[in-house]
Structure formats: structure tokens, C-alpha cells
Chain A
Amino acid sequence: MILRRRSFGVVVFPGSNCDDDCRYVLEDVLKQKVRMVWHKERDLSDLEGVVLPGGFSYGDYLRCGAIARGSPVMKELVAFAKKGKPVIGICNGFQILLEAGLLPGAMLRNGTLRFICREVHLRVETSRTPFTKTLRQGEVLALPIAHNEGNYFADRSTLEAIQANHQIVFRYCDAAGETTEGSNPNGSLAHIAGLCNRQRNVLGMMPHPERASEPILGSADGRKIFESFLL
């Protein structure tokens, strides 16, 4: 597959810790141009896509993502997203997108009240996003999660709206693609693992595609998400 070389930004907040992992996949595995964007920067005009990586921005003090939302770069990022340019928030990045209002809903602590790090299965719910356009609806991916607050919650009207607009991108499921009770690792509402905005250019997901983008790591399914985005 020949991928177009694009220019990406990976945002670094104090406490980000998956920033270099995202850079590695984009730059070293997928041969893209990557610039690390310090959270105090205000110019994203050179970028064609932005990744908000996982980690513990500002130590997750107050609420996950709540302080990062106020970083100078976020104002620019909101404008960047409004222009329809692709933004992907992974784990803590997803939490920041929720706090910033780029995606609807909120995160609660995992149902087990414990941090969970393990591989889970996801079902692709829609191919109609830049991040899943080469994936099949119903396709099952194996990706790891690693979070304490991934229990997605939204009020009833919000849930109805995101369902009606097909904004749910990934749901937790079992290996066969069934959304059984045991396959929901954190108690997430409607098994939601990933969500896009109405314009479909902003994706937030709790699982880590950058941790599953090379066969040596046990799964290369995450790479499909990045590649879809690059085609």
C-alpha cells in the first residue's frame, strides 16, 4: 500500500506519555512527517492532522483532561477541527476532547474501580470516518486498553443523538464481535470505545492503536486505523 506522506502534529502536554509512541508509529513505521507540538504553541497551520496522545496530562488532577483543555494549543485545535481537519484523541487524548467539548459525553472511573491494561476486542461500527474508511463495518480489531477512567457516559438525549448520527465508531465486543456483558471492560455506556463528532473528522478512542501497529507487539490491527486515515 502506498501511503501519501503527510504532516502530522503530536501534541505534548506536561504528563503526556504516549506522545513518543504515536510519533514512532507515524514517523518510523508509517514514514510520515511528524512534528511534536508543545502545548503552549499556537500555530497548527502547517499540519494536516493532529494526534492527542495518551498519558496523564497535568497528572489528571481535577479531572482527566480538565486542565489540558485550558492549554493554549487547545484553542487552536478547536479551530483546526472546525475547519474539518482530522484530529484523533487516544485515551487521555479522548478525555481531553470530551473536556474541550469537541466530542459529547464524559468519562467515569472504570466499573472495577481499578486501572485496566490488557488487549480487548473492538467492533467497527461505521466506515464513514477518515479513520475507518478502509475498515469494514462489523470488522473486529484487537487493541490494548490502559486506563483508569474509560467508562463512557452521556445522558439519554446525547446517547440518542450520537446513535442517530452514527457517531459511535468502535464498541467493545468479544472475539466473535458480540457485545456481550463480559466483553465490556470498564462499564462503558452502550459498549462505546470510540466516538466521532457530527462532522466525523474528530475521533476519540480509549484503546491504543499505536500499541498494536506492528506484528512484534502481538497485533497490527491499530495500524489499519492510521493507514485508513492516510489513504
Chain B
Amino acid sequence: MTTMTLKKVSEIARHHGVTDEEYQKIVATLGRTPTVTEIGMYGVMYSEHCSYKSSRPVLRLFPTEGPRVLIRAGEENAGALDIGDGLAVVFKIESHNHPSAVEPFQGAATGVGGILRDIFTMGARPIALLNSLRFGLLSKPHVQRLLKGVVSGISFYGNCMGVPTIGGEIAFDESYEGNPLVNVLCVGIVRHKGLVKGSAKGVGNPVVYLGAATGRDGLGGASFASRELTEGSESDRPAVQIADPFLEKLLLEACLELIQTGVVVGIQDMGAAGLTCATCETASRGGMGMDVDLAKVPRRVEGMTPYEVMLSESQERMLVIIQKGEEKKAEAIFKKWDLHAVKIGEVTRGPLLRIYENGSLEAEMPASSLTTEAPIYERPARRPDNFGKKNLSLEDIPVPDLAKSFKALLGSPTIANKRWVYEQYDHMVRTDTVVLPGEGTPVIRVKGTKKYLAVTTDGNGTYAALDPYRGGMIAVCEAARNIVVSGAEPIGLSDCLNFGSPEDPEVFWQFKECVRGMAEACRAFGIPVTGGNVSFYNESPRGAIDPTPVVAMVGLLEGFSPVTGSFKKEGDAVILLGETREEIGASEYLKVVHHRKLGPVPAIDLTQEKVLHRILLSEIRKGRVKSAHDLSEGGLAVALAECCVMNPRAPIGVRIRKIDFPLRSDAIWFGESQSRILISVDGKEKENFCRYAKEAGVPATALGEVGGNTIQFGKAFSISVQEAESIWKESLRGILGG
């Protein structure tokens, strides 16, 4: 082993983001000075991205238990929930923000590739992808370039894989200008007995390297993701990986076929921290050791050092631990799929991970010293002095021309229909997408059963910036609301928490508050968190992004058809469930029309929200609800217009009578009061429905009837269906072209 002077090595360690304190701990663990390879391995595993060293204590607030939970958060690559009939749903959301900021196409594409691998390494067949994106203001050419790159990267990868991208959301706000967010969710399905673990067991079992050769791409990507973006980040391009979805499609089919044969002991993809992470995590989960010979690792370029091989984040690679004696079965499958597979090592009696190259020992450490024994920090958190002071006073906000404001909102990039984006995604492959993007909460059927899965991603960065606790809570409520409007019952969530630097006490306070709000909402609804991802250091030279909790939620619906958001029939009654208050703070209306980003964030009452969900679900199950759509950005006016035009086959108008809420007219039409859902029912059911809802404690207001070619907003203003449809559907194309 090479030795160096202590001072020089600790400097190298610092360069790898290893603090002096962490370095001392490493020296104590090893009982000697670490090699450069070892420093690289510790550096990457101790990065925020891999170790969750700042977030872990806070994430403990989340409820992770529930009757459906088969694999809990953090145990494996993704959590798993029982959906009955011996089936499980496996899902996880992850960020790929930094790579997408410097190289949008490859960054986003490899983000999709990574999350797909997390799902199929569990033995699950990926059945849907969603993505939650945030960009700066779309009027900037630089932002348009990023958006186009990210969308084509997602399209390139997901389409080739044959996994439909069924939905997601995109919002635009200047806080994301230098640091866009690219969060990708994958949902998979598997028989309980087909679930496999990412752990190494059985002394002497071969450790097989499968897939692409190792190159210098993505070197230290996890470390790159764990620091702020700077002016110099462009030169970090080599830290971004290159995508090959075709190879991943072969890996997917080969791995699922292999898992079926029962010869797989454990399997893990090489994602962040590459071979280092895959070897130490599988060994440590299995309570075993592992010997690896790097000379056997297929290389893309000559002259790679052990350090580089261990840290490369080349894509489309898997580590598979196979039952000894069954190698032939595995080889036949790899050969069928034209995949390169090499035995690179063996499982040993624990606890050491030993990395050799041609007989020379390059690294040796207890596997768990890289994983479960990684440092954890209780970061200081401080409430910002100006918290709660960025609230508007209503007198300063004049009530504008409502018709003009409505059109501006309907066409604003955050609210406008995103077909320019989702038409680039194959959202129909697998022929399970029964509610298409743009027509309500995306829903997929599970063939061979009467089950449907509704999937959504939600999270409002403006709310979380102005009030992280409430913003976190609302993110969970809104996601649950979006599940419920389809008729499905929420069963679990995965979260992607996008924040600035955790070393900034004010950012860390935002993080803690946000998680506290989310956790409270999860507990109130009884929805377990099954895993997720924390992305810190989302900062550009302009400062930290708005804290953005993205909630990815899955709902289960069984035995009846899902409900969509579009109005269905002339004469149906339109009913607003929930209470509208004088709340225009933090709204999209305030941003778009008044160019102000001020609180207060709308109030949220978990009890009220729960009752709303219960009533709606029970009425949907009785078949009484023809359409249901939640109210969010743009408030009542935008929701009404969307219900009129969201079904491309049959747009229809609506006549809303004069609304006599004792509120400012802009709050009535554009305010974002929470816990509200717009539904339509048969005209004859109107009275009964409203009475029933009120008795159950949910305010219900009959607003008017479906029909005609005009959207009539009481006496306030009106717009033709055709014009509304054109503004909503053509706005993004007008900005982005084509």
C-alpha cells in the first residue's frame, strides 16, 4: 500500500469534502493512514448525497410504518407496499438537479436511468415514470434551453425503455434560474415473492459485474451533487454521466429474467458512488465482507487507476450476487441479451471490504464504516429574522381587471397546459394509461386485476419559501387531494426534498420545518413515507432556491373506474366543496398579475382536509361524482376553465351564477384557499349532495350548470370555451416554438 505523510493525505481528504474530524475518524477506524483510493471511497460515501448525514436525524420524524408496508424507507433501494392479490407496488422519487443544470439532456436522461434501476433491482417491472421540474422564468432564453434539454433527455431515455411517462408537474419561478430541479419518480410492480434485496449473503458466492464498461464519466458525481453550483460548475461537466437507454433496456429484461430463475442472492445498481456504493452497501446490508479484484472490471479507457474505477459513475451497470454453482444459468441469460458480465469478486465472512488490483491491496475497510457508520450531524437551525414579515396587506393590492387577469393566469407557464412537454414523452406504451396526462390525475390500470394506481407529484416552492412548515403540510395535502379526486385512496408517498446548503442555519431551519409539516400531515392521513431523496446545496451564485418539497404519492383504486377532472354533460350541476377565504397571499395570481411574492400562505386544517377526502371518496364509490378536480394555482377560475377544456375530445362550457361569498372578487376567483375540490354531479343530485356534504361538515356550494360554449364566471366576466382552450393549450408552444 502506498503511504504518504499525514498532512498531505488530510489535505487530499479535505479536497474530497472530508472534514478534518471525519478524517480523524477514518484514521481511527483503519488504524493507519488511508490510501488515496480509500479517501476517495470515504469521501464519496460521506457526501451528503450518499450519507444523508445532515438530513437523517430530521427524516426520523416521518412515519414509515403501515399495514401495507412490505419494505420500509431506507432498508432497500426503494420502499414496497402491498396492494393485495400478492402484488406489491415499488416506487421512489429522486433528484438529478446538478447534472441537469450543467448538461440538461444527459443530466435528465441519466436521472431517469438511475431511478429505473432503483426499481428493477428490487425485482419490480417499472410501469410508470413521472417527473417534477422547476425552472427559472421561461422568458429567459437560457431557461428555455434548459427546459428543452431536460425534456428531450427525459423523452430520450423513458421512451426507449418502454416505460410510459404519465405525468408530473412543472413550475417556473426566478429562484430556480441558476439551479433547475429535475426530480424523477418511477413506479414498479412485483409479486411479493419476486421482491429481491440489495444484500450480499453466503460466503463464496460470486459477485458479478454486469453491463456497461467503466469509464471516467461521472467521476465523483455524488460529491459534485453535494456542493453549491458556482460560475465554475460548467467545468464539472465530466462529473455528468452519459446515457445509453438501449443498454439499460437490455439490463432491465435480463435482470428481471434472471431474478425469475431464483439464482440471485442480491442485486444493486451502480448509481451514485458507483462500484464503491454497490459493494459496500450490499456487503454491509448482508453483514458480510467482500473481496473485489478491479483488474477484472471492464474498462472503457486504458490507464484508469483503482481510485477512478471505484469512483466512476458510468451508467447502466449492475452488481449481482449469484448463488454459487448457478453461474451457468445466469451466463445463459446474459448471453441471450448480449450483455457483458464478469465475476469480479466473492462474498467473504465479514466485515471487511477488500479492493485488490492484480493482487495488490488497494483498499481495505469495514464495509459498514462506509455506510451505517457514516457521520451524522445535528446541524444548527435558525429561524430567519424576517420570517412572517413578508406578508402583504390587502390594501396595497388593488383589484385588477378580472377578465384580463384570468387570461394572464391561464396562459402563464406554471398554469398553462403542458402538452408541449408531455407529447414528447411516450405516455401510452404498456397500454395501461387510462387517464392521460392533462386530463386529470394520471391513472394506470393493473392488467389481470380490477386495480388501478393513481400517481401524482406535488410541491409548491413559493409556499415553502414563505412558510416551510405550512408549505410542507400543504404539499402532502395537495398530493393526497389529487389522488382522491381520481377516486383512489392514498397508500404511500416518496418525497424529494430540494433545499439549499444545510450548512446555512436558515436553510436548515427551512428543512426542519418543512419535514415537520409534512410528517404531521402524513400522520393525520395515515400515509407512510416509503423512501425518497434529499437534495441539498441547490444554490447558484444568485443564492439558494426556494425550498421545494416534492411529494410523490401513489393511490389505489379497486373495482370501479377512475374519475377525471373534465365536465361531462350539459345540465350537470357544478359544486364547490370546501371553504373559500380571503387568501391571495403566496398565490400564482399575486405573482403573475401583481409581480409580488408575499405571504401569508393559505391556512390549512388537516381535520377539514381529511373530512373532505372521506366524503368525496365515499360519493365517488357510490358512482355519484361525474368529475372532480382540485383547486390549486389560479384558484376557482382556472379550475373551472380546466374542467371545461381538459378533455380534448369534448370541450364544454359552464354557467356559474353570481357568487355571493363576502370576499374580494380576486380572492373568490384566483385565491388559493386549501382543501377545495370542484365536482360535477347529475343535476337531479345537486340538493342531496350539498345537504349530505354539509351534514358531514364539508361546506358545499352549488355554483351553476355545465353547458354551452361559454365559460360564464358569474356576473364578473366570461370567455368562450374556444378562447380558453386556445390560451391554455397554445401558451407554451407560443413561447417555445413548434
Contact = CB atoms under 8 A, between A and B. Distances in A.
Interface of A: 14-15, 17-18, 20-21, 24-25, 28, 38, 54-56, 58-61, 112-119, 144, 146, 148, 208, 210-211, 213-214, 216-218
What size tier do the contact residues of chain B reach? 35 or more
Contacts of B161: 17
Contacts of B336: 38
B244 interface: yes
A24 B447 CA distance: 9
Contacts of A18: 162, 429
B605 interface: no
Contact of B431 (A24, A59, A116): A24
Given A18-B429, A114-B152, A115-B159, A58 B424 contact: no
A55 B155 contact: no
Interface in B473-532: none
Interface in B235-282: 244-247, 249-250
Interface in B145-181: 152, 155, 159-162
A83 to B, nearest CB: 29
B247 to A, nearest CB: 8
B431 A217 contact: yes
A116 B733 CA distance: 14
A59 B162 contact: no
A40 to B, nearest CB: 9
A210 B431 CA distance: 8
Contacts of B568: none
Contacts of B152: 114-115
Given A21-B429, A21-B431, A211-B428, A118 B423 contact: yes
B296 interface: no
B162 A55 contact: yes
9 contacts: A15-B160, A17-B161, A18-B162, A60-B246, A114-B423, A115-B426, A117-B426, A208-B428, A210-B431
Given A24-B447, A115-B424, A56 B249 contact: yes
Contacts of A213: 431
A56 B429 CA distance: 12
A59 B160 contact: yes
Given A56-B246, A211-B431, A114 B738 contact: yes
Contact of B159 (A61, A144, A146): A146
Interface string B420-448: 00111111111101101000000001010
Nearest to A113: B738
B245 A146 contact: no
What does DSSP make chain A's interface, helix, strand, loop or mixed? mixed
A210 to B, nearest CB: 7
Contacts of A218: 436, 649
Given A21-B430, A114-B152, A146-B428, A216 B162 contact: no
B337 interface: yes
A55 B426 CA distance: 11
The 3 closest A-B pairs by CB, nearest first: A17-B162, A59-B246, A56-B160
B338 interface: yes
Contacts of B426: 115, 117, 146
Interface in B363-386: none
Contacts of B648: 119
B237 to A, nearest CB: 23
Contacts of A15: 160, 246, 249-250
A14 B436 contact: no
Contacts of B649: 218
Contact of B423 (A20, A116, A217): A116
